[in-house]
Every structure is written in structure tokens, then in C-alpha cells.
């Protein structure tokens, strides 16, 4: 058993009585790893000093990140965390479940009382019938007319009592069912209370020293951190071209938690902060370099064998000098889930909607004939006022699911693009025309090489598409290796984003149309050198 103690210096005298209470999770701030949980603790206590024991915290919380605040009229002092929780002999107070048990007991008792009243009526009716059946007239003293009247009266009374008895017996069957239902409800309420108390073995106990200003209700707010919780972004991207280009990005979050307790009706906030990760920059160490004659260095190494053991620790220094993994830049982004949310312990990837963003994209069909046989739809857009976090994107084009991709971090205001699958009706070919030597598009000598390619794009769809064709030529950074190319038609894009040797052509391709691009590259180098 581990016991953690945190003291807040508050002028509280020696503690008096002990009050055991439960708590309610009302708010959760969820991080990519971990969560800050806010619990509300309501109780009633007389004025004075008390030891308040909150017996339903999850195990594994970080003691150093617990904070306790009292409402008006309640002062919070020192507190300690006991991971093992309450001892088995100390019952966990459960006012709501105790109230449910009390109501079930009252309903059961009322049903038993109704059943007892019916039994009393049945017993009285049976006694009355017995009395009437046993009644005997004095034949010698009664006139015949009086005897006949008495007989009729006894028959009528017996009939009325028997009817009352039958009605009571029918009511008893229904009363018996009510009693059974009340007993089942009582048993269920007791079982729920006992199950909650049995679960306290897996809970931690927070003891808080409090001072109550006056008799009556008190209130504490407890916040703590747990590690067994996480969230990650997920998106649905829907692209349409008609009547106008539109890109709708439905944002969501996949929430998981295994804290050991259910979050019911909590206010959920998703934060991009990373409190469990590196908070300070890495530290660099001085890097001493030296030069030496190789022979002297070998002699020095032989004479200083003992120093080899010290140098063997160098990999540790190198590991410390390695740069940390990249972190998200910019301010923390916070998403607040609408309304309240239920997240059961053990749940994985509960999806929470975070709203939609709508963009007006530029749509193109990107064609790479060197590698692909069809063109692919891409949408370029400019992000809005908040960054889009990395996450999986489900892609839909014109209402049809076409695949998924991963979204990288897109800062606010940055340009980005998303792919939206192959366009099967845009056929691509890349042919290497034969030359006089019979080689497919390549003519090579000792000091020169010529490469030829014919790119062809054909639109077999019913729509016109803006094409962006990309191909490549060799490039050189050596003066002795000369690279010259020609292209018909000429490209309108060269070395995009600094990517040497890439060429691009932009044009619209109508339905049924074809387009060809002839590309030739010539390489020359001095005799005696080899092309690599």
C-alpha cells in the first residue's frame, strides 16, 4: 500500500469526526495522452473540523497533480491519497442507492400490508359463511312463514359473502404479484449497492482535512490527472464538382479511456496540449574535435587502452545529442464537445463530432504517366483560422466512398491538398519510341545518351477535366555533365517547389479528347568518365 501526502498550510486545529462521501465526475479535459478530471463532492456536516474521506477515486492517478478547492463556507486543508481505498469493514456511503433501497423497502412493505388486508377480508368472509351455515332455527317455536323467511335471508347472506370472498381471492392473486415485484426491485437495489461497495476495493481514497463554517451542506472540487485516456482526430472529407466546387470536412475525435470508472454526463473538452511529453528544449553538449597524424593516433591508442573503456560510453553522449521528435508548433487548440458525453471505462474509439468546415477548392486531375495508368483527382484549398491536426481522413467523391488517407498537420491559413482517388476514364500511357539502334527510346554512346518519351492522355469520361501532367528529366550538378531537354508542347512548370528535373503541364481536356507530349533529354560528358 502506498500513501501519498500533500499539505496545504491552513489554520485548522486537530481533526474531529470522519465523514465518508462519494464524488461525481462533471468535467474532463482530454489530451492526446492523459486527462484532467474534475470531480464534485457534496456533503452535509456540522460546523467545525472534519476528516472528509472521498472513497471512489480511480487507482493510478498522479498524486502530485491533485488539487482540492472548497466552496464558500468550506475550507480545505491538507490531503492524502491512499491507493488501496477504504478497508472492507468501512462501507462506502451511497446516498442515491440507499434512497433507492429505502423506496423499494417501502413499496414492498406497502404491498405486504395490502396482501395482509386482503387475507383478513378472506378470513372474515370464511368465518361468516361458516356461521351462517351453522345457524339452526328453533322449529318448535317458529312459525312456518318465519322459518321460510329465515331460510331466504341465510341464503342471500351466504351468496353475498361468497361473492365477496371470490372477489377478495382474485384481488389476493394480484396483490401477491405486486409483492413479488416489490421484492425483486428491493433485491436489485441491494445488489446494486453491494456491487458498488465491492468495487471500492479497486478505488483510491482521498482524505481531506476540512473546516465547515456553519452547519449544513458543504462542497469540494477535486481535480486530478490520469494517464489511461486519449483522443485522436478523424475526418470525413466530401468533394463535389457541381454545381460549384465544394469540399466539406467533417471533423471528429475518437475518444478512449480505461480509468476504471465510467464518465456519465460529463462536459468533455479536447485539448491538443501534451502534458505528458517533453516540456523543455533539448540540451546540447560541447563537441570537441581534434586532428592527429594517423601513426601517432594508433600509437596513442595502444598506449591508452584504459581510455578505450571511457570512450565506449560515447554512444550515450550521442543519444543525448540526438534531436527530440518534432512537436506541434503554435498555440494549444481546444475543442468543446456540445452538450454532455457518456464515456464508459474500457471504451475504445468513441466518436465525438466536432463540427464541419467548408472550403472552395481548386480541383485538378493529376497525371503521372511514368508511374500510373490513370489520373487522380486532387483538391487544393486554403485552411481557415485554426490548424487541422494530423489524423485519418475518409474520402468521398460525389457521394461515393473512394478510400482513406492520412492528413498531416495543416497550420491556420496554410495551403493544402487532399487526394480523391483514381479517375478511371482518364487513361495515361508513356511510350519510348524505337530508334535506329533498336533500343526503346534510349541511344547511348561512350560520351552521350539520348532519352525520348511520348506521353499521352485520353479523356473517356463525360466531363471536362483540368489536367496537371507531371514527368521528369535527369538533372546534373556537375559542370562536366551537360543535360539538355526539349518538350513539345513546352511545360508551364519547371522544378516545382525546388524539385529539380520535374516538369509540369496544365490544360483542360474535353470529353473524348486526347493530348500528346513529346519529351527528349540529351546527356553529354567527357570521354573516360562513366554516367551514374
Residue 3: predicted pLDDT: 43
Contact 466, 506 (CB under 8 A): yes
Could you list the mean pLDDT of each consecutive 10-residue stretch along the chain, which spans 532 residues? 42 60 92 93 92 86 89 90 62 73 86 79 71 58 66 68 72 80 87 72 83 92 93 95 94 90 90 81 76 61 49 33 33 79 87 89 96 96 90 94 93 94 95 54 68 94 95 89 92 90 95 95 85 78
For residue 33, give the 3-state DSSP assignment. Answer: coil
Q: Strand 229-240 to strand 391-397: parallel, antiparallel, or no bridges (unpaired)? A: parallel
Query: What's the N-to-C CA distance of the chain in angstroms?
Result: 68
pLDDT of residue 318: 32
Q: What would the grid cell of residue 107 be?
A: 413499496
Listed in sequence order, the residues at least 6 apart from 367 whose beta carbon sits closer than 8 Å to its beta carbon are 375, 376, 426, 428, 457, 467, 468, 469, 470
pTM above threshold 0.85: no
- Per-residue confidence (pLDDT) for residue 287, from 0 to 100: 74
The answer to whether 343 and 277 are in contact (CB under 8 A) is: no
Listed residue (221, 215, 222, 223) closest to 73, CA to CA: 215
Nearest C-alpha neighbor of 350 from the set 28, 37, 58: 28
CA 388 vs. chain centroid, Å, equals 17
Degrees to nearest 5, angle at CA 454 with 451 and 458: 160
CA 252 to chain centre: 9
Residues 6+ apart with CB under 8 A from 222: 23, 38, 39, 41, 54, 57, 66, 67, 68, 206
Q: Where are the domains of the chain?
A: 1-226, 230-276+329-361+381-411, 432-524
Q: What are phi and psi of 18, to 5 degrees?
A: -110, 135
Q: Tell me, what's the pLDDT at 221?
A: 95
Q: For cell 466539406, name the residue.
A: 248
Judge whether 115 and 172 are in contact, CB under 8 Å. Answer: yes
- Can you state the angle between helices 95-134 and 144-198, rounded to 10 degrees? 160
Amino acid at each position: 500500500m502506498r500513501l501519498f501526502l500533500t499539505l496545504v498550510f491552513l489554520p485548522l486545529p486537530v481533526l474531529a469526526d470522519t465523514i465518508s462521501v462519494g464524488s461525481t465526475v462533471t468535467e474532463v479535459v482530454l489530451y492526446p495522452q492523459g486527462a484532467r478530471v474534475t470531480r464534485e463532492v457534496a456533503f452535509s456536516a456540522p460546523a467545525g473540523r472534519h476528516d472528509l474521506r472521498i472513497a471512489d477515486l480511480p487507482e493510478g492517478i498522479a498524486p502530485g497533480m491533485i488539487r482540492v478547492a472548497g466552496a464558500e463556507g468550506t475550507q480545505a486543508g491538507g490531503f492524502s491519497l491512499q491507493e488501496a481505498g477504504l478497508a472492507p469493514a468501512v462501507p462506502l456511503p451511497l446516498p442515491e442507492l440507499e434512497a433507492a433501497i429505502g423506496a423499494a423497502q417501502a413499496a414492498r412493505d406497502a404491498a405486504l400490508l395490502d396482501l395482509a388486508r386482503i387475507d383478513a377480508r378472506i378470513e372474515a368472509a370464511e368465518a361468516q359463511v361458516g356461521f351462517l351455515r351453522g345457524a339452526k332455527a328453533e322449529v318448535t317455536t317458529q312459525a312456518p312463514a318465519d322459518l321460510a323467511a329465515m331460510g331466504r335471508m341465510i341464503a342471500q347472506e351466504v351468496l353475498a359473502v361468497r361473492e365477496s370472498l371470490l372477489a377478495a381471492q382474485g384481488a389476493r392473486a394480484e396483490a401477491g404479484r405486486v409483492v413479488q415485484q416489490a421484492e425483486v426491485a428491493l433485491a436489485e437495489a441491494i445488489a446494486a449497492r453491494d456491487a458498488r461497495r465491492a468495487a471500492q476495493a479497486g478505488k483510491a481514497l482521498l482524505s481531506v482535512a476540512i473546516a465547515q463554517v456553519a452547519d449544513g451542506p458543504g462542497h469540494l472540487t477535486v481535480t486530478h490527472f490520469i494517464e489511461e485516456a486519449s483522443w485522436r482526430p478523424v475526418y470525413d472529407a466530401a468533394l463535389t464538382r457541381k454545381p460549384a466546387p465544394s469540399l466539406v470536412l467533417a471533423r471528429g475525435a475518437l475518444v478512449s479511456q480505461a480509468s476504471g470508472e465510467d464518465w456519465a454526463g460529463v462536459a468533455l473538452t479536447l485539448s491538443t496540449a501534451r502534458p505528458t511529453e517533453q516540456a523543455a528544449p533539448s540540451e546540447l553538449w560541447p563537441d570537441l574535435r581534434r586532428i592527429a597524424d594517423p601513426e601517432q593516433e594508433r600509437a596513442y591508442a595502444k598506449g591508452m587502452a584504459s581510455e578505450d573503456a571511457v570512450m565506449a560510453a560515447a554512444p550515450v553522449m550521442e543519444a543525448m545529442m540526438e534531436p527530440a521528435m518534432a512537436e506541434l508548433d503554435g498555440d494549444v487548440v481546444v475543442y468543446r464537445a456540445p452538450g454532455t458525453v457518456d464515456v464508459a471505462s474500457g471504451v475504445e474509439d468513441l466518436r465525438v463530432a466536432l463540427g464541419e468546415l467548408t472550403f472552395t477548392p481548386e480541383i485538378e486531375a493529376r497525371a503521372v504517366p511514368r508511374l500510373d495508368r490513370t489520373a487522380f483527382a486532387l483538391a487544393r484549398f486554403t485552411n481557415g483560422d485554426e490548424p487541422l491536426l494530423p489524423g485519418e481522413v475518409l474520402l468521398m467523391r460525389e457521394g461515393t466512398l473512394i478510400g482513406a488517407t492520412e492528413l498531416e498537420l495543416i497550420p491556420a491559413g496554410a495551403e493544402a491538398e487532399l487526394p480523391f482517388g483514381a479517375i478511371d476514364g482518364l487513361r495515361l500511357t508513356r511510350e519510348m519510341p524505337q530508334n535506329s539502334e533498336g533500343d526503346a527510346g534510349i541511344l547511348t554512346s561512350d560520351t552521350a545518351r539520348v532519352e525520348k518519351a511520348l506521353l499521352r492522355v485520353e479523356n473517356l469520361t463525360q466531363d471536362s477535366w483540368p489536367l496537371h501532367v507531371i514527368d521528369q528529366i535527369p538533372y546534373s550538378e556537375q559542370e562536366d555533365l551537360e543535360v539538355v531537354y526539349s518538350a513539345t508542347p513546352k511545360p508551364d512548370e519547371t522544378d516545382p517547389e525546388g524539385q529539380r528535373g520535374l516538369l509540369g503541364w496544365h490544360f483542360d481536356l474535353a470529353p473524348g479528347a486526347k493530348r500528346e507530349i513529346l519529351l527528349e533529354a540529351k546527356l553529354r560528358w567527357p570521354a573516360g568518365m562513366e554516367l551514374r
